[in-house]
Structure 1
Amino acid sequence: MKFGHIGDLHIGKRVHDFSMLEDQRYILDQMIKIFEEQKVDGVLIAGDVYDKTVPSAEAVQLFDEFITGLAKAEIPVYMISGNHDSAERLSFGAKLFENSDIYISQVYDGEMKRIVLKDQYGPISVYLLPFLKPAAVRHALQRDDINTYEEGVMAALQECEIDTTQRNVLVAHQFVTGADRSDSEETWVGGLDNVSAEVFKDFDYVALGHIHRPQKMGRETLRYSGTPLKYSFSEADHKKSVTIVELLEKGNVRVSTVPLIPRRDMRKLRGTYMDVTAKDHYTAENKMDYLQITLTDEEDVPGALQKLRTVYPNLMRLEYDNKRTRENREVQAVEAQEQKSELELFEEFYELLNNEPMKEEQTEFVEKLIQDLKEVRV
């Protein structure tokens, strides 16, 4: 059985006040064509369908077009909510949609939705695990021993009683420890949202969402599909793609990717004003890309943003890198360091030494120790 794995669509997103809706429409249409060409048996959508919990009418309409396109192509959908989605809104009409082979995770109530499929190798169970916070699992399972994201996900999966002799697929939206993040992702201080890859060991394939760079997590079959578009300039070097997963007999999973070609790329340019405006520096096509331009002129160019946009209409961000700005950054860095608390400085030092953030219990211990020392000093 063959699946397409996508996630983090963030429909309705604005980047530096530029609407991405038309770019999203273009890439969603491209994905439908890829799924048809690949003859997939279903599409796994790993959360963050929308960019906001209350999406705009235009965003909802665009996603409706996408889902309708998949339904017309007779491609089933297995979808979960992410941390940017409202689980209640996304799952509206879920029972009705199942008549069209569109399966959506419900608000977590202690049970995960499970869909059983069959092919020539036997049954495949597809589990839908929406984005979970520890408090939601603690409430649903009536347990007071769940305090971390990892404990919450482990408890939710333990309730499933997974048959590991058969093939199992999980669609989830969590941050697996070690994943390479981007600026456009929502993060928790100190890595408190970390979940170990070992938590997902019972699944033949795990379709992950939440991280914007496509990547595997230790094994080929534990993967983030990444966003279909670049949503920050920290992603300028990303190669966006659709993940294709083929499950054969138990233990045999093939994973490949199909590149996505955006309507407009997102790039960084650097040089003097004369350099970046020279005609041999751009083409009719790439000057329409979304750009961050860093000017290296020692003196600011009056009206540079407006002037550059006559050449590059989709210039999103203009920066300077010269002696003045470097000195300002150094001063700001010192001021920022001086404003940090003792705990924040210790956390940075710990992570530098150990290449991992402090655990919650370690943070609590150090916080108490600092407080005790302050009291002794007084």
Structure 2
Amino acid sequence: MRLLHTSDWHLGRSLHKADLREAQERFLDHLVETARAERVDAVLIAGDVYDRAVPPVDAVALCEQALVRLRDTGARVVVISGNHDSARRLGFSSALIDASGVHLRTRPATLAEPVLLRDDHGPVAVYGVPYLEPAVGLPGFDGPRAHPAVLGEAAARIRA
């Protein structure tokens, strides 16, 4: 199975008041072309899609276009939310979007539910673990509110 991993797009970010949209568009063009040229089976986007929890409207449109174009290459797409993303906003309508082959994994309560991919060698389970805020923890977890404990619990749930 051919996987393409990317992260930290930070769409909507500016640098010293300079708009980075054109550079971000060129990056996404390159990413889509790479996915197509390499005939990847899945593109894994590991968070920080946006630069802030409430991204500008043009950043949301750019993200939507990129996800559609990546899916049009024939690849499945798995996206997790990062610490810069609003998990609730990024994950909006994820149950409906799943049917298109774009899988938004933003809810800690469902991190042990894999996205099942298949190739000639059989199934591959991809677990999209979104950013886990230690102060919030995980539903049903009463352990310490620290990164190692929360991530350990997440891994234990996936192994189970």
TM bin (shorter chain): over 0.9
Confirm or deny: 8 A CA contact 1:51 1:84 kept in the other structure. yes
- 1:118 matched to which residue of 2? 118
1:157 to 140, 155, 158: 155
Q: 1:121 to 1:73 in 2, by over 3 A?
A: closer
Q: Which has the higher contact order (CA 8 A, sep 6+)?
A: 2
- 1:76 matched to which residue of 2? 76
Structure 1 Cα separation of the partners of residues 141 and 110 of structure 2: 9
- 2:33 matched to which residue of 1? 33
- Map Cα deviations across residues 100-119 of structure 1 (whole Å, 9 max, x no partner): 10001132126433112232
- 2:14 matched to which residue of 1? 14
Residues 80-229 of structure 1: pairs in structure 2 closer than 5 A: 80-109=80-109, 111-138=111-138, 140-143=139-142, 145-161=143-159
- Map Cα deviations across residues 278-325 of structure 1 (whole Å, 9 max, x no partner): xxxxxxxxxxxxxxxxxxxxxxxxxxxxxxxxxxxxxxxxxxxxxxxx
- 2:63 matched to which residue of 1? 63
Confirm or deny: 8 A CA contact 1:11 1:50 kept in the other structure. yes
Structure 1 Cα separation of the partners of residues 98 and 121 of structure 2: 24
SS in 2 for 1:79: strand
- 1:339 matched to which residue of 2? none
- Map Cα deviations across residues 23-60 of structure 1 (whole Å, 9 max, x no partner): 10111011100110000001000000000100000100
Structure 1 Cα separation of the partners of residues 15 and 113 of structure 2: 34
Greater gyration radius: 1
SS in 2 for 1:135: coil
Count, aligned residues: 160
Shift of 1:99: 1.3
Residues 280-359 of structure 1: pairs in structure 2 closer than 5 A: none
SS in 2 for 1:77: strand
Residues 351-370 of structure 1: pairs in structure 2 closer than 5 A: none
Q: Cα RMSD between the aligned structures?
A: 1.5
SS in 1 for 2:116: strand
Amino acid of the residue matched to residue 149 of structure 1?
Answer: H
SS in 1 for 2:124: strand
Q: 1:106 to 1:113 in 2, by over 3 A?
A: farther
Unaligned runs of 5+ in 2: none
Unaligned runs of 5+ in 1: 163-378
User: Which of 67-76 and 47-56 deviates more?
Assistant: 67-76
The alignment's TM-score, normalised by the length of structure 2, stands at 0.93
- 1:230 matched to which residue of 2? none
Shift of 1:133: 1.6
Higher-strand-fraction structure:
1
Confirm or deny: 8 A CA contact 2:77 2:103 kept in the other structure. yes
Q: Percent identity?
A: 32
